Amino acid sequence: MSISEEYVNVADAMKRIGGNMDLYKRLLNQFTSADHFTPLEQALSDGAHEEASRLVHTLKGTCANLSLSKLAASAADLEHKVKSGLDHSESLDALKQVYNETSQHVAEVV
């Protein structure tokens, strides 16, 4: 597999962090080693939509800062659905799928 800019835009990230590839790799490792879904799923199952919205908003921002474009867009879709009170189950499943796909591309960078 080759790195797809749709998933991991390394050139964009390098502009954002001053070309420091070692820093970018550390940030990507931290991101992929964190558990992004357990707290989010718990908040959604508890009906804590404000907390779920905050968690997915944070995820979206982190993805955008790391230039994980497709994952940021998927998180934005879930955030919109949670905030709007819409059925979010398909968006959550899609987010998990895009996360897995993105992780495969990230593994090629780190």
Q: Summarize pLDDT for 13-28 with one digit per residue, the tens.
A: 999 999 999 999 999 9
pTM of the full predicted structure? 0.91
The whole domain housing 97 covers 10-109
pLDDT class of 40 with cuts at 50, 70, 90? very high
Residue of 16, 15, 107 lying closest to 61 (CA atoms): 16
Is 102 within the bounds of a domain? yes
Is 5 within the bounds of a domain? no
Structural domain total, the chain: 1
Is 4 within the bounds of a domain? no
From residue 31, how far is each of 25, 80, 85, 88 by CA, in Å?
A: 10, 22, 28, 23
